Structure formats: structure tokens, C-alpha cells
């Protein structure tokens, strides 16, 4: 399973790099679709169908919106001239990347192997969810009972996002 996930992750990285360097913005958007749908297959392989359903629907909707935006504006990428300032930005970006990668390597050595993590907090959740909440689907039991505050916060975030879009995209102000 680790091998197949690694192959899909490789495809996702190739898609992301192509999306950065594509001349045509429409093909960049399609290449971003590879990243999203690759993530769906990763979720399915890691036995998380709940996340996979959400990811496949949200990915499709955002892809449709992004394609509409690209078709409506322009398909050519903006040319940025290469000068001293962009060189400085690239050097700073590389230094930050190297630092983060070093700490990532340090952190990954203290992790447990894939699928063998210690479940101190999750153990009572997993084994007590059915009798405490009555929900057979453990994910829903955790989302709406043990961690209901989390769900309320997520719903409020979505609500605020919709309000923000409505407010920003008004053509005429109200008197």
C-alpha cells in the first residue's frame, strides 16, 4: 500500500510542478485537478471514504469554478520580468525551504510507522463510540458527539465565507 501511495504522490507532485510552469492557464487548472483527484485515491487507499466523498465533490465544484474563471478572463500567463528583487525572493524562498525540510526530516524520525500510531486519546473514542453515541459510523459519532464543537466551528467558517463572498462581490452599495 505504501508503494501505491508513493506512486500516486509522485503523480501529484508532477501535476503540481506542471501547473506552476504551464504556459496555458487552462492546462494548469486541469493539472491541479490531478492533485485533487490523486488525493481522493490516497484517501480511499488509507480507508477514509468519508473524506474521499467530500474531496471528490468539492474538487469537482472548485474545478468547474476555476475553469469558468480562466475561460472568462485570459488563458495566457502574466510575464514577470527577472530582476534583482525576484532573485532575492528566490534565494529567501530556497533558504526557508531548506530549513523547513531539515526540521521535517528531524520530525519524521520520531514518528511511528504508517498505520501503527499509538492511540492514547483515540482509543476510548474508537471502542466506546457505538455505545456512547449510538452511531454505527464512528466518524459521524466523533464529529457530532465527542467533537461537536469542531463541527460547529467548521459550519460557522463556511457560513462566514459565504457572507464574505456576498459582501465583497456586491456591485452597488446599499444606501
Contacts to another protein by CB under 8 A: 49-50, 53-54, 57-58, 60-61, 64-65, 68, 72, 130-131, 133-137, 139-141, 143-145, 148-149, 151-152, 154-156, 158-159, 161-163, 165-166, 169, 171
Nearer to another protein, 17 or 57 (CB): 57
CB of 152 to another protein, least distance (A): 7
Query: What does the alpha-carbon distance between residue 86 and residue 81 come to, in Å, rounded to a whole number?
Result: 8
Nearer to another protein, 22 or 51 (CB): 51
Closest by CA to 38, choosing from 12, 56, 15, is: 12
Query: What does the alpha-carbon distance between residue 64 and residue 70 come to, in Å, rounded to a whole number?
Result: 10
CB of 22 to another protein, least distance (A): 23
Query: What does the alpha-carbon distance between residue 34 and residue 27 come to, in Å, rounded to a whole number?
Result: 11
Nearer to another protein, 49 or 124 (CB): 49
Query: What does the alpha-carbon distance between residue 55 and residue 85 come to, in Å, rounded to a whole number?
Result: 38
Query: What does the alpha-carbon distance between residue 37 and residue 23 come to, in Å, rounded to a whole number?
Result: 22
CB of 142 to another protein, least distance (A): 11
Amino acid at each position: 500500500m505504501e508503494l501505491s501511495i508513493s506512486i500516486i504522490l509522485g503523480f501529484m507532485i508532477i501535476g503540481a510542478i506542471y501547473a506552476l510552469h504551464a504556459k496555458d492557464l487552462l492546462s494548469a487548472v486541469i493539472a491541479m485537478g490531478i492533485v485533487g483527484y490523486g488525493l481522493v485515491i490516497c484517501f480511499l487507499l488509507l480507508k477514509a471514504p468519508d473524506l474521499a466523498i467530500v474531496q471528490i465533490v468539492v474538487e469537482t465544484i472548485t474545478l468547474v469554478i476555476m475553469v469558468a474563471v480562466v475561460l472568462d478572463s485570459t488563458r495566457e500567463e502574466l510575464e514577470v520580468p527577472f530582476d534583482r528583487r525576484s532573485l532575492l525572493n528566490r534565494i529567501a524562498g530556497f533558504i526557508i525551504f531548506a530549513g523547513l525540510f531539515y526540521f521535517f526530516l528531524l520530525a519524521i524520525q520520531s514518528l511511528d510507522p504508517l498505520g501503527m500510531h499509538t492511540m492514547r486519546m483515540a482509543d476510548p473514542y474508537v471502542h466506546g463510540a457505538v455505545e456512547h453515541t449510538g452511531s454505527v459510523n464512528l466518524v459521524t459519532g466523533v464529529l457530532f458527539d465527542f467533537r461537536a464543537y469542531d463541527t460547529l466551528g467548521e459550519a460557522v467558517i463556511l457560513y462566514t465565507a459565504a457572507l464574505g463572498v456576498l459582501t465583497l462581490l456586491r456591485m452597488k452599495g446599499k444606501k
